[in-house]
Structure 1
């Protein structure tokens, strides 16, 4: 067999393959029965619903207890002159404000802490701090605060507000602090 014969067989095989491919893709035609879905009819004007705003809130199904936010109460400190437990006019003004707060909050108990500057002996400053705390407590009691709501303590020079060794720091440290002990 010659070279021409081989070309002829190759062409025949190629033709048969193409014919088979075309026949397999053709297949039978089926008609699909497809009906598009019906769209809803547009609403007529008389079919529309009007929504009125709600004027009252509905009653809750469960009763809810609302806990009021706890009010933070702060009492201001007072200051004293050097080597003194006498209340200054400014200290009396602050004590009056503190007393009003305590009258408005009768459940509050306080501790008044007397403090001194670093000058003087430990014993002297503890005694002076106690006299300062007692002077503030006496003012509050005269204002109408029950003595059972007040404790006093002296820290002398042991707890300075300002640790520097200057006249300004010493003035800050000569004080009475008011600490709420049951808020």
Structure 2
């Protein structure tokens, strides 16, 4: 799955990602369920702006992505959502470009 980026203070999935999510989710989730030994970890990241509490709030881009993916899973226990907030920036600088790249959702496959 690709990295998904979000606008500041938004949880809406950008239109360019919606179709990609639809195309890849069905195949990826079927493979995940068929294997049975893995979990998809959905990791939300924020930029440095906002309080720590705000940046790891439950209403996050990671949840928006997870909700879309759940439509393709019969077993929701095959996913887990983690909101890291600003803890792991992709770009350590403090400017608009860095903030935009740091607001993202990434995916990691974990063995059960």
Instruction: Specify the TM-score bucket, using the shorter chain as the normaliser.
Output: 0.7 to 0.9
Distance 1:105 1:148 in 2: 11
2:90 is the counterpart of 1:161: yes
Out of 16, 23, 29, which is 1:102 matched to?
29
Distance 1:103 1:166 in 2: 39
2:24 is the counterpart of 1:82: no
Q: Deviations over 1:122-151 (max 9, x none)?
A: 1111116x5211111100012x22311100
Which residues of structure 1 form unaligned runs of 5+?
A: 1-74
Which residues of structure 2 form unaligned runs of 5+?
A: none
Q: Which of the pair has the greater relative contact order for Cα pairs under 8 Å at 6+ separation?
A: 2
Alignment partner of 1:84: what SS? coil
Map of 1:104-123 to 2, 5 A cutoff?
104-106=31-33, 107=35, 108-123=38-53
The TM-score with structure 1 as length reference comes to 0.54
Q: Deviations over 1:74-128 (max 9, x none)?
A: x211111111111111221332244122223422421101111111111111116
RMSD between superposed Cα atoms in Å = 1.8
Q: Report if the CA contact (8 A) 1:116-1:156 is conserved.
A: yes
Equivalent residues, number? 107
Structure with max Cα Rg = 1
Q: Report if the CA contact (8 A) 2:32-2:39 is conserved.
A: no
Query: In proportion to residue count, which structure has more strand?
Result: 2
Q: Report if the CA contact (8 A) 2:41-2:80 is conserved.
A: yes
